[in-house]
Structure 1
Amino acid sequence: MTVFIMVAGVFTGAHVWQETTARLTAAGSEVHAVRLTGVDAGRPAASARVDLETHIADVIAAIDAVDAASGREIVLVGHDYGIHPVLGAADRRPQHIARVVYLDCGMPQNGLPALAAVPDQAVRAHLAERADRGETDGELAPPDRDGWQRWGSTAGVSDAALDRLTALAAPQPLGTLLQPLRLTGAVAAVPTTGVLCTGNGVGIDLVQRLVDFGDPVSAALADPRVTFFELPTGHWPMLSCPAELADVLLRAAAGEGHRLRSADGGAPPAHLRPFPIDVPELPRDRRAHVDLYVPEAEGPRPAVVFVHGGPVPAGARPTPRDWPTLVGYARLAAAAGLVGVTLDHRLHDVGDYGRAAADVTAAVELVRADPRVDADRVALWFFSGAGLLTADWLTKPPAWLRCLAASYPILAPLPNWGLAGSRFHPVRAVAHAGALPVVLLRAGRETAEIAATVEAFVTAAEDCGARLELVDVPNGHHGFETLDAPEEVGPALRHAMRSVATHLAG
């Protein structure tokens, strides 16, 4: 028999597991939904201080209550914040744990508090300021009914379930979010499963890309003891699809699931595959975090600055400006008589958009100051997650910005990014674009969550009369340059480059 010990996320308690528990029990499993001190009804705190260690102790008590001599395997399930006390407890009782299930949550690291994983970045910044002042007591009020989206996608959650979630929500003790997680490393030996809720913005393909980037932290995800499942729902699967969640948990306990390939597992990862168009070899001219590919031509030339997507882990090697796709785009621009520019920026996490925007601005200033560049004729071309960075340029386009292009971009913050109220929202910004031409390369087989942001942008652009040109790759996937057939992708890339060149010449 498998014993599931379930730990709920921020503001929620054991009640959220009710339907999933019923299905697991019917399948023959034993289930314990941990009631967390100071959060769950009927589990008041013995003192004013409730922190992460308090909740780790709650989970350890649940583990210790299972008769180890019975031979039953314990599977710990942590949702959202709940993964922090789960890992803390598993690290101290690793010999009793058969598997840890990460249910739509991040990968907590030793020494970091749960605050680092809070998706609402405004809340994160506010609490960080309080922590810096030593104000670690008190509580964080739960969201109202319309505020749950700031903590994760509510896709699939019925109105009745959302009403109940709101009614039963409890304040979260600040100590549980601000106290660092302390791990000895013992938990690393415990097999793990990640259950990814794709409606919240993350799927297996994205995690595989993190491994492919060569980041040491992500490399552990390719361990054979690590498996993954996807659920096509939002952040609260125990409310939106409890039967499907129960099935996935049973399969996870049995060791099933998708396994990732390692970064050195044979064929090159997608981002290191060749560019789909033959372009002339051209040396790079490296200046700080910028590379220029300058054509042999008289006088200053217009420039196209290619802004890589992300987030890309800080440890990724090679860095994006050396990826074949970015180098290929820059050389394609040079073949058209333009200065092609690649750069590295610091979008390593969804909380890094501010500094990434600053890096792009600094790169553009460096490029415009180069005597080989016509400072009054510059285009910016964004990819994937860098699509949010277009918002600043759409909001107030400078006179020298003659065109803005984007390939398979994300054009509104995804649900779990906590950026809904930030300035990085191109769907809202396009209303201010004025006469700025926008060339948008759209992938026909884009993921549903990203495609929704693109369609919202297209609608907003049409409503405000923006100068939008759509270049479709009907059978293209996200990152189509290295995933799809050259005959499918090549014509679209050439067409888009001609359009950008035309705008720079006008």
Structure 2
Amino acid sequence: MTVFVLVAGAFTGPHVWRDTAARLAAEGAEVHAVALTGLGKRLGDPGEAIDLETHIADVLAVIDSAASGRPGREIVLVGHDYAIHPVLGAADRRARSVARIVHLDAGMPRDGVPALAAVPDPSLREELSERAARKEQPAVAGELPPPARNEWSRWGSTAGLSDAALDGLTALAAPQPLGTLVQPLRLTGAVTAVPVTGVLCTGNGPGIEMLQMMVDVGDPALRALADARVPFFELPTGHWPMLSCPVALAEVLIDAASGKGRRLASGDDARPPAHLRPFLLDVPERPRERTGNTDLYLPDGPGPHPAVVFVHGGPVPAGARPTPRDWPTLKGYARHVAGLGVVGVTLDHRLHAVTDYGIAAADLADAVDRVRADPRVDEGRVALWFFSGGGPLTADWLAAPPAWLRCVAANYPILAPLPGWGMADTRFHPVRALAHAGDLPVVLVRAGRESAEIAATVEEFLTEARRCGANVEIVDVPDGRHGFETLDPTDEAREAVHRAVGSVLARLTA
């Protein structure tokens, strides 16, 4: 028999598992929804300090009870959100008793790192970090109040939740003991022997295809998961699937318990990773000049020529090789426009994590200044072309477009901070910046088979464009995927590239 031990995330308790637990039980499983102290379990002593170790002990008690005197039962621990921390802590101490750990829309905590590192809200992270640095006793000092009904999105996407479910989530929420967030997780390493499955909620973060891209560009943590052949599942919903799609979640957990799931391809596979496959157009070589982090692909003639600066996405690990300016897509576009009489520019910027957008923006601004100062470039006719995770960098240019900026283009871009980033109030929010763009032309290349979380930001951007009357042209690639230039070398995709390039160059030469 499979025994599911379900542990809910921050502010929530066993009640959120009701429908999922009922379906698991109907399928013949034994189910235990853990009541964590302060989040469904009463304090033994009103003055008791609650920290991560308290919650680890709560999970251990359920594991020991389920395992006692009943051999042959496979215990599957399911940790949602914050709960992956006490789940891993308990599994590390009972590795021989646990058959599998399921990360349900949860991160990959490491030894010595507290749960606050995964808190989406950066201001809250900073506050708790300062409190921990002053060696306060947050387990005694207080609790973190639960979100109000309109604040849950700061902790994860509420996509898929009905009004009734959101009302119930809010009404039954409990304060989170601060000590559970600031006490570091301590692992001996025994937990690494326990099989792991990941369940991704694609309305809240990346899906499997996006993870594969991150593996391909060299993310070390995800590469380790690919090498270990960790299986993954997707659920097309937000951060609380036990409330938005409880039956589908139960079915996924049953499959996860048996070791099913889709595995990421490791870097040892014979075929090149998607981003290093050939560009879909057969583009002739062009002269290239490399200075610092910037490459110029020069057209024939002395100039000055208009220029297009191609801005890669990310985050890209600092150690990724080759670096983005040598990826076939960026080189392909730059060579292509150079052949049409325009300087093509590629650069490497330092977007290595979602916290690096400010650094990347400074890198881009510096590169643009240097390009415009080149005597072979017409400083008054420049376009910026963004890709994927570079999309948030458009916000600065949309908010205050300079006179020399003739066009902004974006391929399969992220156009609003994703729910798990904790960047809702950042300046890197193109949707909010668009109303200030005036008549600046925007060419948006939209992939029809885009991931749900990115597609939602594009639709939000287009809704705002209609509201404010922005000058946005859409180039659709109906069967194209994210990164279609190397993934989908079809006639449809080639035509889209020609149309997008034509639209951008028309703005530069007008």
Give the structure-1-normalised TM-score. Answer: 0.94
Paired residue type of 1:399: A
Instruction: Give 1:317 shift.
Output: 2.7
Question: Cα deviation per residue 1:34-66 (whole Å; 9 max; x = unaligned)?
Answer: 221233242456645322222222222222223
Question: Aligned partners of 1:371, 1:85: CA distance in 2, in Å?
Answer: 60
CA change 1:247–1:337 in 2 (3 A) is same
SS of residue matched to 2:79:
strand
Aligned counterpart, 2:334? 330
CA 1:288 to 1:134, structure 2 compared with 1: closer, same or farther past 3 Å? farther
- The answer to whether the 8 Å contact 1:104/1:197 transfers is yes
2:198 corresponds in structure 1 to: 194
Q: Give the AA of the match of 1:49.
A: A
Residues 1:318 and 2:322 are matched in the alignment:
yes
- Tell me, yes or no, if the aligned pair for 2:77 and 2:87 is still in contact at 8 Å: yes
Contact between 1:36 and 1:58, CA under 8 Å: does it hold in 2?
A: yes
Counterpart position of 2:7: 7
Work out which of the residue numbers 345, 358, 371 in structure 2 matches 1:341.
345
Distance in structure 1 (CA, Å) of the matches to 2:13 and 2:388: 36
**Superposition map of 1:231-270 within 5 A:** 231-270=235-274
Q: CA separation of 1:47/1:216 partners in 2, compared to 1, >3 Å: closer, same or farther?
A: same
Instruction: Give deviations 1:346-384, integer Å, cap 9, x for gaps.
Output: 323333322222222222223233333333322111111
Count of residues in Structure 1 that have an aligned counterpart in Structure 2: 506
Partners in 2 of 1:407 and 1:103 — Cα distance?
Answer: 31
Q: Which amino acid aligns with 2:25?
A: T
1:102 and 1:353 map into 2 onto residues whose CA distance is: 28
Map 1:366-381 → 2, pairs under 5 A: 366-381=370-385
Say which SS state the counterpart of residue 406 (structure 1) adopts: strand
1:444 to 445, 448, 458: 448
Assess if the C-alpha contact under 8 Å between 2:197 and 2:231 holds in 1. Answer: yes
CA–CA distance in structure 2, aligned partners of residues 311 and 60 of structure 1: 37
Q: Deviations over 1:70-112 (max 9, x none)?
A: 2211111100011111112212221211111000112122232
State the 1:421 CA deviation. Answer: 2.4
Aligned to 2:419: 415
| Closer, same or farther: CA 383–3 of 1 in aligned 2, 3 Å | same
In the alignment, is residue 121 of structure 1 matched against residue 122 of structure 2?
Answer: yes
Kindly provide the CA deviation profile for residues 330-353 of structure 1, in whole angstroms up to 9, marking residues without a partner as x: 111211222212222232333332
Q: What does residue range 131-210 of structure 1 map to in structure 2 within 5 Å? A: 131-135=132-136, 137=138, 138-210=142-214
Amino acid at match of 1:343: L
Contact 1:36 1:43 in 2 (8 A): no
Written as runs of structure 1 = structure 2, the 5 A alignment for 1:374-393 is 374-393=378-397
Distance in 2 of aligned mates of 1:349 and 1:169: 31
Contact 2:231 2:260 in 1 (8 A): yes
For structure 2, list consecutive stretches of 5 or more residues without a partner in the other structure: none
**1:358 is matched with which residue?**
362
Whether the aligned pair in 2 keeps the contact of 1:38 and 1:173 (CA below 8 Å) is yes
Aligned residue type for 2:53? E
Secondary structure of 1:303 counterpart: strand
Within 2, Cα distance between the matches of 1:381 and 1:475?
Answer: 22
Aligned residues of 1:201 and 1:415 also touching (Cα < 8 A): yes
Secondary structure of the residue aligned to 1:75 is strand
- Identify which of 461, 466, 470 aligns with 1:466: 470
Please report the RMSD computed on the Cα atoms of aligned residues, expressed in angstroms. 2.0
CA pair 44-339 structure 1, distance change in 2 beyond 3 A: farther
**Helix, strand or coil: the match of 1:502?**
helix
Letter of the 2:393 counterpart: L
Q: Would you say the 8 A contact 2:202–2:452 is kept in 1?
A: no
Q: Distance in 1 between matches of 2:308 and 2:137?
A: 48
8 Å CA contact 1:379, 1:504 repeated in 2 = yes
Counterpart secondary structure, 2:378: strand
Question: Which position in structure 1 is the counterpart of 2:74?
Answer: 73
**2:207 and 2:451 in contact (8 A); partners too:** no
Question: What secondary structure sits across from 2:290 in the alignment?
Answer: strand
Aligned letter for 1:334? A
Of 36-45 and 397-406, the range deviating more from structure 2: 36-45
Deviation at 1:229, TM superposition (A): 1.0
Q: What SS does structure 2 have at the residue aligned with 1:492?
A: helix
Pair 1:225–1:299, CA change in 2 (3 A): closer
Indicate the percent of aligned positions where both proteins have the same amino acid: 69
Q: Single out whichever of 8-17 and 339-348 deviates more from structure 2.
A: 339-348
Conserved 8 A contact 2:417-2:424: yes
Q: 1:282 to 1:179 in 2, by over 3 A?
A: farther
Unaligned runs of 5+ in 1: none
Equivalent residue letter for 2:173: A
> Within 1, Cα distance between the matches of 2:341 and 2:432?
34
Tell me, yes or no, if the aligned pair for 2:8 and 2:16 is still in contact at 8 Å.
yes
- Aligned equivalents of 1:371 and 1:140: distance in 2? 57
Q: Report the AA paired with residue 28 of structure 1.
A: G
Shift in CA distance, 396/48, structure 1 to aligned 2, threshold 3 Å: farther
In 1, distance between residues paired with 2:44 and 2:161? 29
Tell me how far apart the structure 2 counterparts of residues 386 and 35 of structure 1 sit (CA, whole Å). Answer: 42
Question: Does structure 2 conserve the Cα–Cα contact (< 8 Å) formed by 1:68 and 1:96?
Answer: no
Cα drift, residue 133 of structure 1: 4.0
In structure 2, the partner of 1:396 is: 400
Deviation at 1:387, TM superposition (A): 1.1
Using structure 2 for the length normalisation, give the TM-score. Answer: 0.94
Question: 2:505 is matched with which residue: 492, 501, 506?
Answer: 501
CA contact 1:215–1:314 (8 Å) conserved in 2: no
Query: 2:223 maps to what in 1?
Result: 219
With over 3 angstroms needed to count, the CA separation of the structure-2 counterparts of 1:129 and 1:309, relative to structure 1, is: same
More displaced 10-residue stretch of structure 1: 450-459 or 326-335: 450-459
Amino acid corresponding to residue 284 of structure 2 in structure 1: P
Shift of 1:30: 1.8
Q: Give the Cα–Cα distance (whole angstroms) in 2 for the partners of residues 352 and 444 of structure 1.
A: 29
Query: Residues 281 and 494 of structure 2 are in contact (CA less than 8 Å); yes or no, is this contact kept in structure 1?
Result: yes
The Cα of 1:32 is off from its aligned counterpart by 1.7
Taking the aligned partners of 1:179 and 1:287, their CA distance within structure 2 comes to 46
What CA distance in whole angstroms lies between the structure 1 residues aligned with 2:43 and 2:250?
A: 26
Partner of 2:102: 101
Inter-partner Cα distance in structure 2 for 1:72 and 1:97: 9
Distance 1:59 1:435, change over 3 A: same
Give the drift of 1:147.
0.8
Query: Hey, what's the Cα distance between the residues in 1 that align with 2:7 and 2:57?
Result: 12
